Structure 1
Amino acid sequence: MTEAPKDVVRRGYDAVSHAYRADDADDGPYAPWIAALLGRLPDRADVLDLGCGCGVPVARALSAAGHAVTGVDLSEVQVRRARDLVPHATFHRADAAGLDLPDASFDAVVCLYMLIHLPLDEQPALLSRIARWLRPGGTLLAVAGHGAWTGTEENWLGAGAAMWWSHPDADTCRKWITAAGLTVDGEEFVPEGAGGHALFWARRP
């Protein structure tokens, strides 16, 4: 692969945005995660959604519940759709690994299938910044890799564009979360096809 991995990810999501999630998609498998997160949030919470995609379903659900959501995504197409689909939230097109945000500014940070699109050496540093962005007692909800793998899929979702992923195994990711200063208080395996992912709940003490 000669193209930079993040350019592959950005172009990939620009191409597959609608195939990946329709405007009217329901919460699907995200529903129990969203419900559990809502149960952890204070009233009128501030939530950061990293890798927010088109805003559906996470930002849509949290915004509808009265929370202030800030979404960040690398894809211009995804962010443009999110602004239309979830008008009461705030969205930015940016590289999550390069964000500079105030400490203790969010009650929760959501990273669903986003960390797995970052180079491995950037993931621990982002988790450390996330820990600083969380308020005491704040929650991290993240879906990361279960088994270690780095690779590219051509013509992802039949949209004519490639996609790139990189992730360690779940044990390594758990160690990174803990090293960032967060306490892991929940973990589960999320099956997908012949493999799956690891879902983590963590909290800033």
Structure 2
Amino acid sequence: MSRNDERELVRRGYDTLSYHYRSDDADDGQYGPWLADLHQRLPASAGVLDLGCGCGVPVARFLANAGHRVTGVDVSDVQIERARRLVPNGTFLHSDATRLDLPPASFDAVVCLYALIHMPLADQPQLIKSIATWLRPGGWLLTTVGNTAWTGTEDNWLDGPATMWWSHADASSYRAWLQQAGLTISAEDFVPEGSSGHSLFWAQRPQG
């Protein structure tokens, strides 16, 4: 399967299952404590980039309601249309995150939750390097990534009529990629899910 085929599976999957994946009025769930922690680390009216923003709930909604300037990016048309409706004070771009061209030092934080793992593995180290350049000195990356290496698909994902695709390395690879991008890892946690789980990283662009 080519990288374009993989991207198309993810796009179609979220176009089809957007409401199945998360309702308009979904609560903050497990994201709540992470986002509250991020808010405490940010200056007032911070610029935040939400990569893989989905329908804007809960990340963009939480941060916009907290007074931050949120830009969301997602590959799914349906998700972006919903995000523009659900978070009217955010800015939302329909784009592939691995193909973004953004100015350096333009964000105080980048959030990428359960999204990097839907991107071709070969593109992930370069995206992490790009994220590091988009952050201002002292800026934060909050991301969930793979804990163990796996690439594959699941038919009838969420018991719906679509196939979903993932590709992720193991936690030690992500640790190395973050460090190679010049980011300082301040925390790493395991987030269980079913019989496996993900790794949650807090990483910061050094000051100066």
| Secondary structure of 1:12 counterpart | helix
Q: 2:24 matched to 1:23?
A: yes
For 1:133, the aligned partner's letter is: W
Number of aligned residues:
205
Aligned equivalent of 1:67: 68
Partner deviation per Cα, 1:151-197 (whole Å, 9 max, x = no partner): 00001112211000000000001100110010000110000000000
Equivalent position of 1:116 in the other structure = 117
- CA distance, structure 2, for counterparts of residue 186 and residue 20 of structure 1: 28
Return structure 1 stretches of 4+ with deviation > 3 angstroms.
Answer: none
Matches within 5 A, 1:148-163: 148-163=149-164
Letter in 1 for 2:167: S
Partner of 2:47: 46
Match of 1:117, as an amino acid? H
Q: Identity across aligned pairs (percent)?
A: 64
Structure 2 Cα separation of the partners of residues 196 and 80 of structure 1: 30
How far did 1:75 drift?
0.3
Aligned residue type for 2:108? D
Residue ranges of structure 2 left out of the alignment (5+ in a row): none
Alignment-derived partner of residue 77 in structure 2? 76
- The one-letter code of the counterpart of 1:129 is S
- CA distance in structure 2 between the partners assigned to 1:119 and 1:72 by the alignment: 17
User: TM-score, normalising length from structure 2?
Assistant: 0.97
Q: Which residue of 1 aligns with 2:131?
A: 130
Report the equivalent of 1:170. 171
In structure 1, give the amino acid aligned to 2:152.
Answer: G
- Could you tell me how far apart the structure 2 residues matched to 1:77 and 1:111 are? 19
Which residue matches 1:6? Answer: 7
For the residues of structure 2 that align with 1:189 and 1:63, how far apart are their CA atoms? Answer: 27
Shift of 1:119: 1.0
Q: Distance in 1 between matches of 2:34 and 2:78?
A: 25
Q: Distance in 1 between matches of 2:77 and 2:175?
A: 31
